Amino acid sequence: MITFFAWIIQIILVPVLSPLFVGIIRKIKARFQNRKGASIFQPYRDLRKLFGKDEVISKDASWIFKYMPFILFGTTLIVGLSLPMFTTFLKTNLTGDFLVVIYLLAFGTFFLALAGIDAGSAFGGFGSSREMTISALAEGGLIFSMLTLAIVAHSTNLNQIAISISSLPLRSFMPIILSFIGFFIALLAETGRFPFDNPATHLELTMIHEAMILEYSGKRLAVIEWAAANKQLIFLALGANLFFPWGIANSLSITAVFAGIIIFLIKLLILSVSIAVLESGMAKYRFFRLPDLLFTSFIISVIAIGIII
């Protein structure tokens, strides 16, 4: 019975909580700008409003444009089900490999870029081009940062990685910290945060993600925004529970699961605050400076692997 309820929590955790952490980051950034800011629950209200609106779809749009939001949202649900969120006992061997997770997310990004081009607008085209450039460059740092953990754990399974890293002594954490820095840079790139993208802009010279979805409206736009929030929470969960896996339940007792959920939420909150503080103290980089930052992420991760070997 406990296993059944744990699976239910695992399934709903990402889509239920993801808009909340979007709201938390926005709220903290507003405070740093001496503004009151919207409620942390405003993203839920925005989704409800979009689900209640009508859609406008071009007659020239293909099936890619029509079904991309559901493909994107579906990949985030599958990945969310595969992560060690609050316990390491809910294992999914088929999708629990870190390479499978990375490429499932890349699969959704690929269809997002295709939909941006499919709309036929100039905005969608350059948004897709920029998105694919950043995703391709971020992939190296992302894979090698998690490869560091896989080498330490002697496994590519996410649950096994969390178990192995949690048992490491603190003196062995130098390569883990380095790989986390590389991962954090990739996280900012993959989730469209500063200095890579501004999630709150519609300016032609700065937007990347928003440029690809300008042609969407109504329910499909709500699904896309929800999927983007899911993806952000997935990356926060990867950072919290793979690099700092303390507090994850190693048994399926009610007390351990409850404690695991509370500690997981605290770690997500700390990472969300870190992102908000970082974004409040820096500006968006010019697009041609971004490859240097992503290459830095890759090099830091390679150094971490070199330390282990």
Give the model's confidence band at 26: pLDDT under 50 very low, under 70 low, under 90 confident, else very high.
very high
Higher pLDDT, 170 or 65: 65
Residue 143 is predicted with a pLDDT of 94
Share of residues in the chain with pLDDT > 90 (%): 55
Written as six digits, the tokens of 166 are 């949690």
Closest CA to 113 of 95, 125, 105: 125
Integer Cα distance of 14 and 70 in angstroms: 16
Residue 203 is predicted with a pLDDT of 58
Closest CA to 208 of 297, 123, 295: 123
pLDDT at 206 over 70: no
Region 216-221: what's the mean pLDDT? 92
Contact 268/240 with Cβ under 8 angstroms?
A: yes
Q: Which tens digit of pLDDT belongs to each residue from 259-302?
A: 989 999 999 999 999 999 998 888 788 888 888 999 999 999 99
Integer Cα distance of 85 and 249 in angstroms: 9
Residue 201 is predicted with a pLDDT of 66
pLDDT at 92 over 80: no
Q: Which tens digit of pLDDT belongs to each residue from 133-171?
A: 999 999 999 999 999 999 999 999 998 999 899 888 877
